[in-house]
Structure 1
Amino acid sequence: MVLSMDRWVDKVAIVTGASSGIGKAIAERLVEQGMKVVGVARRKDRLDELAQKTSGKKGKLYPIQGDVTKEEDIMRVFKWAKDNLGPVHVLVNNAGVLCNSAIEDGKTEDWLQTINVNVVGLCMGTREAIKDMKEHNIDGHIFNINSVAGHFVFNYPKLEIYTATKYAVTSLTASMRQQLANQKSKIRLTSISPGLVDTEIVAGLDLSITTGGPPSLKSEDIADAIEYALSTPPHVQVHEIMIWPTGALSS
């Protein structure tokens, strides 16, 4: 199997949650590989910094402010990309929140926000990407940044809602892949499920990653997985990549 990113050069990618952590690393990597990357996040200033950092690379980053829980923002991002760059070839559903709010005493608004970001926002982005790919006869690639928590229930407090949303991502990815296969579509769907990654999203947990805490991954490790799956030939579909830090205790 020959691995190559050549067919994605000058093609359009949309990456949500691109202002920090995993999304930032993925957006930067795709720019380095020559893609036109629409980086989407609520924090426009951070996107602007990333655009400046990646200027002069093979591709280019286009910073667009947007909230994945707002349908009008999703529609605006896809319309802007199509009108200014062309149809989308790659979508990375990366935006996510870690709900540290238990069922027994948590806040409903925290649960709803987590579900809206991790599940509903992902569905809206996927819907628009598939619509765009089909309209332009593009054999594109959609990535859902999942979690090992989408496959195992961990004995850790206050993660019930987060885990439920990631199980939903696992199910949605498999279901959509089956539906596309039934339609004879060549659009590929890949779920990337990391273990603990040293990013801002885990800041609210009682973990000490840098001072003797549990083993962790780097955001760049997830970008590596995206690049690998994209590099495979069109007849190869990588369904799932699960990435654990070396030494981590799996479920």
Structure 2
Amino acid sequence: MERWNGRVAIVTGASMGVGEATCRVLASHGMKVVACARSLDKLQALADDVSDGPGEVFPVKCDLRNMVEIHEMFAEVKEKWGGVDVCVNSAGLALDAPIIEGDTEQWDNMWQVNVMALCLCTKESVSSMRERGVDDGHIININSLSGHRVGKMHFYSASKYAVTSLTEGIRWELRGINSNIRITGISPGMIRTNFAYTLLGPERAEALYEQQPSLKAEDIANMVVYTLSTPTHVQIHEMMVRPTGQVV
């Protein structure tokens, strides 16, 4: 991780879960981390918490469903730190919205966060890297095992299948422009975060975690570090990470 010391990473969904854990671990390796989410108070608390460490966290309030706010965030990062070297698309939204009887507004929210925001953050990050001649940058998409097999939440799964396809498509596009910027998808299984609490509510989430083994958010953040630590000639394209006891 030495070569990333002092360089800039943007992490979406940074106010909790995998995004927060990723911000912490990247800052601990001396990176300048742009923490993006809607909850500015949580982001500021995170920035204050790591302020004595080797890195720095810059909190930016951004609603990823709003393309204008994403553009404004990247403009702010350019003004403050010059641009982005690493983009971790960690934000994800799962809602119980089936196809036949589902709420179309919930479909739209999931698609905007899980797919459109990921695409735009990737586009802006790659543009920033190329503008500054950065050829060793890295895009990391936090996907899901639901992007590789259909679970109970069909629209959510569809959005994550899209991330699987986009990760491969972006790799092709990067090779097509003779860029050495790398892209990696990390697909976790069950993680004990606020994700299930938001989806299911406290009681059902607790029952789920009691019944099934789960990962910690830090486990996935460590996979981000592992990915960034590989030599520049190594392309980790897809990483599936399950708790040991999880079957599917």
Alpha-carbon deviations, 1:134-175, whole Å to 9, x = none?
A: 111112000101000000112x3xx01100000000000001
Cross-structure match for 2:25: 29
CA distance in 2, matches of 1:178, 1:26: 26
Cross-structure match for 2:143: 146
Alignment partner of 1:247 is 2:245: yes
CA distance in 2, matches of 1:209, 1:145: 25
Aligned residues: 243
Aligned residue identity for 1:244: R
Alignment partner of 1:178 is 2:176: no
Alignment partner of 1:222 is 2:216: no
Q: How does 1:94-173 map to 2 (within 5 A)?
A: 94-138=90-134, 139-154=136-151, 156=152, 159-173=153-167
Shift of 1:210: 7.1
Contact 2:6 2:55 in 1 (8 A): yes
Contact 1:31 1:37 in 2 (8 A): yes
Shift of 1:208: 3.3
Structure that is richer in helix per residue: 2
Cross-structure match for 2:206: 208
| RMSD over equivalenced CA pairs, Å | 1.1
- Report the secondary structure of 1:247's partner residue: coil
Contact 2:192 2:209 in 1 (8 A): no
CA distance in 2, matches of 1:198, 1:212: 10
Alignment partner of 1:73 is 2:69: yes
CA distance in 2, matches of 1:67, 1:103: 25
Alpha-carbon deviations, 1:36-56, whole Å to 9, x = none?
A: 001000000000110111111
CA distance in 2, matches of 1:107, 1:219: 29
Q: 1:191 aligns with which of 151, 161, 185?
A: 185
CA distance in 2, matches of 1:211, 1:129: 35
Aligned residue identity for 2:185: S
Alpha-carbon deviations, 1:29-88, whole Å to 9, x = none?
A: 100000000100000000011011111111000001001111111111111111111221
- Report the secondary structure of 2:59's partner residue: strand
Alignment partner of 1:12 is 2:8: yes
Shift of 1:200: 0.9
Contact 1:208 1:214 in 2 (8 A): no
Contact 1:207 1:213 in 2 (8 A): no
Aligned residue identity for 1:208: E
Cross-structure match for 2:84: 88
CA distance in 1, matches of 2:68, 2:13: 17
Alpha-carbon deviations, 1:177-233, whole Å to 9, x = none?
A: 011112110000000100011111111234435763211110000001000000011
| Same amino acid, percent of matched pairs | 45
Gapped regions of structure 1 (runs ≥ 5): none
Structure 2 length normalisation: TM-score?
A: 0.95
- Report the secondary structure of 1:212's partner residue: helix
CA distance in 2, matches of 1:209, 1:194: 20
Alignment partner of 1:53 is 2:42: no
Q: Tell me whether 80-89 or 33-42 shows the greater mean CA deviation.
A: 80-89
Contact 2:10 2:36 in 1 (8 A): yes
Contact 1:13 1:36 in 2 (8 A): yes
